[in-house]
Amino acid sequence: MMTLFHASRQLLLLVLLAAAGAASAQAVITGPLAADPGRAQFIPAAAVRPQLRGTAGTTALALPFFDDFTSPLEGAPKVLNWKPTGGAIVSNRLALAPLTRGAATLDGLRANGRTYSNMVASSYGPIDSLVSQPIDLGGLSTGNQVALSFAWQAGSIVGAPSANVNNNTVSLELFVKTNLDRWESVWVYTSQRARTGFRQQVILLNQAKYLHGNFQFMFIASGNNSDNSDNWSVDYVLLDRGRTRGLADTTFVDVATSAGLRGDTPSGGLRSPLRRFTSMPVWQFNAAASPTSELNTKLGVNVTNLNSGPLALRTGVLGTVRALPAAAPIGTWLQDTRNLPPVNPRLDSVTGAANRAVLPATATPKILRYTLALNSQETTPRTLANDTISRDVELGTYYAYDDGTAENFIQLVPYVTGQAGALAYRFDLNRPDYVRSLRLYPVFSASDQLARSVTISVWDDVSGQPATAARASKTVTIPAAAAFPAGWQYFEVTFDQPVPVSGTFYVGFTQPSQSRNLQYGLDLNSSIPAGYFWRRDNFGTWLANPASLNRGAPMMRPVMTNNVATASAATRETEAFSVYPNPAHGTVSITGPAFARAAVLDALGRVVWEQPAAQAGQPTLPLPALAAGIYTVRLTLANGRTIGRRLAIL
Cα distance between residue 637 and residue 597, in whole Å: 7
Contact 444, 35 (CB under 8 A): yes
Q: What is the pTM of this model?
A: 0.86
CA torsion, points 627, 628, 629, 632, in degrees to nearest 10?
60
515 in helix, strand or coil? coil
Contact 411, 491 (CB under 8 A): no
Cα distance between residue 138 and residue 62, in whole Å: 10
Cα distance between residue 377 and residue 374, in whole Å: 9
What are the CA-CA distances from residue 146 to residues 184, 210, 242 (Å)? 17, 10, 6
Q: Where are the alpha helices (DSSP H) in 565-645?
A: 569-575
pLDDT of residue 130: 97
Task: Look up residue 42 and give its DSSP letter.
Answer: G
pLDDT of residue 55: 40
pLDDT of residue 548: 63
State the CB neighbour count (10 A cutoff) for residue 26. Answer: 21
Helix (H) and strand (E) counts for the chain? Answer: 3, 40
pLDDT above 70 coverage of the chain, percent = 89
Distance of CA 639 to the CA centre of its chain: 40
pLDDT of residue 167: 82
Write the secondary structure of 47-75 as one string of H (helix), E (strand) and C (coil): HHCCCCCCCCCCCCECCCEEECCCCCCCE
Lowest mean pLDDT among 1-10, 133-142, 412-421: 1-10
Contact 295, 370 (CB under 8 A): no
Cα distance between residue 105 and residue 259, in whole Å: 14
pLDDT in tens, 219-277: 999 999 989 999 999 999 999 999 999 999 998 889 999 998 887 766 788 889 999 99
Cα distance between residue 305 and residue 346, in whole Å: 5
Max Cα-Cα span within the chain: 78
pLDDT at 637 over 80: yes
Distance of CA 618 to the CA centre of its chain: 29
In terms of residues, how long is the chain? 650
pLDDT at 417 over 60: yes
pLDDT in tens, 485-539: 766 789 999 999 999 999 999 999 998 766 778 899 999 999 898 889 999 988 8
Cα distance between residue 240 and residue 66, in whole Å: 8
Rg (CA), the chain: 26
What are the CA-CA distances from residue 541 to residues 346, 421, 456, 469, 544 (Å)? 48, 9, 18, 11, 10
Instruction: List strand residue ranges (DSSP E) for 84-166, in order.
Output: 89-91, 103-106, 124-131, 147-154
Contact 485, 37 (CB under 8 A): no
pLDDT in tens, 420-448: 889 999 999 999 999 999 999 999 887 78
Write the secondary structure of 226-247 as one string of H (helix), E (strand) and C (coil): CCCCCCEEEEEEEEECCCCCHH
Cα distance between residue 67 and residue 110, in whole Å: 21
Distance of CA 562 to the CA centre of its chain: 29
Q: pLDDT band for 311, please (50, 70, 90 cuts).
A: low
Lowest mean pLDDT among 199-208, 340-349, 483-492, 622-631: 340-349
Half-sphere exposure (Cβ direction) of 8: Cα atoms closer than 13 Å: 14
